[in-house]
Amino acid sequence: MSKSNDAVLNRLQSIVEKMENDDGFDGIAELRSVFNEIKSEEPEVENYSFEKEKAMEVFGEAVDFRLCRIRQTDKEAYIKLEEENSSMPRAYELEGYGDSLWDDFNEEKAFNVVIRSKSTDSFMGYCGIKNTQKEELELAMTLFKKYQGKGYGPEALHLFMVKVKEITGISEFKALVDGENVHSQKMCEKIGGKPLGITEHLLHDQAYMEEYEQEHAHEVSDVMREVAAKFKVAPEKLLTHVLVYRFRV
């Protein structure tokens, strides 16, 4: 799923660098303001809150894993998971950054479930809805790398959508994916995700985005060109935008 495109990553890295060089700079607050911008991009509506489901020990079950409630003891594994899959690992060295992510993971408007191995009860990853009060429910999913490429991700995400539909009747979901994240793109397509287009992600300054695209056009990879052709957009747009997949279950 989407973590950050190149332009957004540059912004986040500049915050981290300032935190390392200026003891008086409240970088955690600045990073949180960035994440809050992401959360507030769309208006909210009154949707099902999943309060009962958040307390269920098991939300869904497959052959090799279960979708389970979050436990307080999951904190360390969750932070390690996000660090392993992060485009900005240096941020995890900063005091309070992991705590901030854990708070967001447990945020009231989010609905996340942990993917646990049936045989060992180990934390494999998670999937969920980033904000249950958005008109379009955006999916989130991350697995430890040792579990990736084995079919667990697509199976878990599809199971999650089916269970949500059973409870709420909602049958349409979306996922935002980085242009170079081929693994997530293949996973989305494997479970029926259809390319819907691209969207701005965090950045909304049109002049800045156009300037960034021109100055960094040489960084567009062959992979990004192939993806851009599939989504029918100019390749350099993937430097400042993310892909949108639509799911119907």
**Residue-level pLDDT at 172:** 97
Residue 121 Rama label (left phi>0; alpha psi -120 to 50; beta): left
How do residues 64-101 score in pLDDT, each as one tens digit? Answer: 999 999 999 999 999 999 999 988 888 888 889 999 99
**Residue-level pLDDT at 189:** 96
Nearest of 34, 6, 11, 15 to residue 215 by alpha carbon:
6
Mean pLDDT of the chain: 89
Average pLDDT (3-13) is: 59
How do residues 29-73 score in pLDDT, each as one tens digit? Answer: 656 555 555 555 567 878 899 999 999 999 999 999 999 999 999
**Residue-level pLDDT at 204:** 78
Q: In the structure encoding, which two tokens stand for residue 74, read together? A: 């999951």
How do residues 126-146 score in pLDDT, each as one tens digit? Answer: 999 999 999 999 999 999 999
- Rounded to two decimals, what is the model's pTM? 0.83
Comparing 22 with 225, which gets the higher pLDDT?
225
The percentage of residues in the chain with a pLDDT greater than 90, rounded to a whole number, is: 73
Q: Taking the mean position of all CA atoms in its chain, how far away is CA 228?
A: 20
Cα separation, 65 vs 119, whole angstroms = 8
